[in-house]
């Protein structure tokens, strides 16, 4: 079974106290949830507090970014060993906003991915095409390149434990989203490419999640798609009740 993964990416929102209040309420709401892997990605300032509040729960904590170097003169960056020390379990790599606004490339995504893996952090690797690429019919070509270059120099066992988030850039923060059928088609394509590059077990085990204007109203239909294993949630994750509705609406996948 592929357990659905629902990730709250808070981006540059929430103070430490706001993060604590959200996490406290989510713990109460989700205390009986066992069919979903819940992940919260707060801002750096709240990581320690949220980790402390969730250590005895099934809720995991992710960093929104990391640098691939162990340490050095990189003002404003954070290293994998710093995150590991705090108790973070996951790290988001290659989010479209990092690619668009901070000039991340498939090469730097790959460096961050490999650094995460060697430091026992579970990567959430983001891929997706722009509106221009989408309208030009280049979506799958872009996805193929991002998979090839972003996942370079890792092995099948590592891929088994990856979470890959397909986030069409044209659907992030716009209120638009790929239809369930569109999302399902791209996810099926990604799984096919994983099978070709890493084999059956890796392709079946790797969780593929969708990001892009995910809401309580569309999560069930999205996760009904055979290859959609959850969601990377932005705006709708800032409200705890909305986020919990998304968690509740996700579906378990039978991979037999």
pLDDT digits (tens, 9 = 90+) for 4-14: 999 999 999 99
pLDDT at 7: 98
Burial degree of 118 (CB within 10 A; 0-12, 13-18, 19+):
exposed
For 189-245, the DSSP string reads HHHHHHHHHH-HHHHHHSEEEEESS--TTTHHHHHTSTT--EEEESGGGSSHHHHHH
79 in Cβ contact with 107 (< 8 Å): no
Q: Report the range of poorest mean pLDDT among 9-23, 33-47, 128-142, 231-245.
A: 128-142
pLDDT at 177: 66
pLDDT at 131 exceeding the cut of 60: yes
Task: Give, as one character, the DSSP assignment of residue 45.
Answer: G
Task: For residues 209 and 167, give the distance between their C-alpha atoms in angstroms, rounded to a whole number.
Answer: 9
Rg value, the chain, Cα: 17
Q: Is 212 left (phi over 0), alpha (psi -120 to 50) or beta?
A: left
Question: Which residues 6+ apart lie within 8 Å of 179 measured at CB?
Answer: none
pLDDT at 174 exceeding the cut of 70: no
pLDDT at 171: 73
Task: Convert the pLDDT of each residue in 21-47 to its tens digit.
Answer: 999 999 999 999 989 999 999 999 999
Predicted model pTM: 0.95
What are the domain boundaries of the chain?
A: 5-249
Task: Convert the pLDDT of each residue in 58-90 to its tens digit.
Answer: 999 999 999 999 999 999 999 999 999 999 999
Neighbours of 110 (CB within 10 A): 22
Task: For residues 29 and 16, give the distance between their C-alpha atoms in angstroms, rounded to a whole number.
Answer: 20
pLDDT at 106 exceeding the cut of 90: yes
Task: For residues 248 and 238, give the distance between their C-alpha atoms in angstroms, rounded to a whole number.
Answer: 16
The residues that are catalytic are: 95, 167
Average of pLDDT values for 171-187? 80
CATH superfamily to which 5-249 belongs: Aldolase class I (3.20.20.70)
């Amino acid at each position: 079974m592929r357990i659905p993964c629902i990730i709250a990416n808070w981006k540059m929102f929430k103070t430490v106290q706001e993060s604590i209040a959200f996490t406290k309420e989510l713990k109460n709401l989700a205390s009986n949830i066992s069919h979903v892997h819940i992940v919260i990605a707060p801002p750096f300032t709240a990581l320690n507090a949220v980790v402390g509040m969730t250590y005895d729960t099934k809720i995991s904590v992710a960093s929104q970014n990391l640098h691939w170097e162990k340490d050095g003169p990189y003002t404003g960056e954070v290293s994998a060993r710093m995150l590991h020390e705090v108790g973070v379990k996951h790290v988001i790599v290659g989010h479209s906003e990092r690619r668009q606004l901070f000039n991340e490339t498939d090469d730097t995504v790959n460096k961050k991915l490999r650094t995460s893996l060697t430091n026992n952090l579970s990567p959430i690797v983001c891929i997706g095409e722009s509106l221009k690429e989408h309208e030009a019919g280049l979506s799958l070509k872009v996805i193929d390149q991002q998979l090839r270059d972003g996942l370079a120099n890792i092995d099948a066992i590592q891929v088994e434990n990856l979470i890959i988030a397909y986030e069409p850039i044209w659907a992030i923060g716009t209120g638009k989203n790929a239809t369930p059928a569109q999302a399902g088609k791209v996810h099926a394509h990604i799984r096919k490419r994983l099978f070709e590059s890493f084999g059956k077990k890796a392709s079946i085990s790797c969780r593929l999640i969708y990001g892009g204007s995910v809401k309580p109203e569309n999560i069930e239909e999205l996760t009904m798609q055979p290859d959609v294993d959850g969601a990377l949630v932005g705006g709708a994750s800032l409200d705890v009740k909305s986020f919990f509705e998304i968690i509740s609406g996700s579906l378990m996948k039978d991979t037999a």
